[in-house]
């Protein structure tokens, strides 16, 4: 699913990376615990989180997360925005709560990391 489609589904605004809205993500994960993101996220995923400090962007870089959506209308701090620009990691913000944002994306066909893993395992 393209980031532009995600932006529309979530009624999100682009904070950083307007030129990156044609990027594709293959699955999504959501957490405010960056240790969980590092443990369970897969390359190419979208991250939904309420954690707005620089750690969210650092985690996205390490885990090869394609973009971050901040939920509940949250805005990342200045350090996070600066690092995201440097690393070309798009940042978006949606007024939706995490549960609803994940639900809308799921209903639109974007699957979670666990479902993508199960599908790959079933095809082996």
Q: 16-25, pLDDT tens digit by residue?
A: 999 999 999 9
Q: Among 30-34, 66-70, 87-91, 111-115, where is mean pLDDT lowest?
A: 111-115
Q: How sure is the predictor about 114, in pLDDT bands with cuts at 50, 70 and 90? A: confident
Q: How sure is the predictor about 67, in pLDDT bands with cuts at 50, 70 and 90? A: very high
Is the pTM of the predicted complex or chain greater than 0.85? yes
Q: How far apart are CA 120 and CA 17, in angstroms?
A: 30
Domain 3-122, second-level architecture: 3-Layer(aba) Sandwich (3.40)
């Amino acid at each position: 699913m393209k980031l532009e489609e995600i932006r529309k589904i979530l009624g999100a605004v682009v904070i950083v990376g307007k030129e990156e809205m044609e990027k594709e993500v293959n699955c999504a994960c959501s957490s405010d615990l960056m240790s969980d993101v590092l443990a369970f996220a897969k390359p190419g995923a979208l991250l939904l989180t309420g954690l707005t400090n620089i750690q969210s962007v650092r985690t996205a870089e390490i885990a090869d997360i394609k973009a971050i959506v901040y939920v509940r209308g949250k805005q990342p701090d200045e350090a996070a925005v600066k690092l995201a620009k440097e690393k070309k990691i798009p940042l978006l913000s949606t007024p939706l709560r995490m549960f609803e944002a994940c639900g809308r994306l799921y209903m639109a066909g974007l699957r979670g990391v666990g479902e993508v893993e199960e599908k790959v395992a079933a095809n082996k």
